Amino acid sequence: MWRPSLKRCFHFSLSLMKKLKGRSPTEQRWVMRQLRDPYVKASHDQNFRCRSAFKLLEMDDKFQLLQPGYSVVDCGAAPGAWSQVAVQRVNSAGTDPELARGTVIGIDLLNIPPLDGARFLCSHDVTHPTTHAKLQELLPCGQAHVILSDMAPNASGFRDMDHERLIAMCLSLIELAEKILLPQGSLVCKYWDGVFAHQLQKELCSVFSSVRTVKPDSSRKDSAERYFLARMYRKPEK
pLDDT tens digit sequence for 177-231: 999 999 999 999 999 999 999 999 999 999 999 999 999 987 877 788 999 999 9
CA angle 31, 35, 40 (to 5 degrees): 105
Q: Between β-strands 71-75 and 103-108, what pairing exists: parallel, antiparallel or unpaired?
A: parallel
Please tell me the distance from the alpha carbon of residue 224 to that of residue 147, in angstroms, as a whole number.
22
Name which residue leads in pLDDT, 160 or 119: 119
Catalytic residue among 190, 215, 235, 238: 190
Report, as an integer, the average pLDDT of 56-62: 96
Q: What is residue 219's predicted lDDT score, i.e. its pLDDT?
A: 80
Distance of CA 2 to the CA centre of its chain: 20
Distance of CA 138 to the CA centre of its chain: 20
Q: Which of 22-31, 87-96, 142-151 has the lowest mean pLDDT?
A: 22-31
Please tell me the distance from the alpha carbon of residue 216 to that of residue 56, in angstroms, as a whole number.
8
Mark whether 190 is an active-site residue: yes
Q: What is residue 7's predicted lDDT score, i.e. its pLDDT?
A: 42
Report, as an integer, the average pLDDT of 32-43: 58
Q: Which of 13-17, 203-207, 225-229, 233-237 has the lowest mean pLDDT?
A: 13-17
| Phi, psi of 107, rounded to the nearest 5 degrees | -130, 135
Report, as an integer, the average pLDDT of 139-166: 93
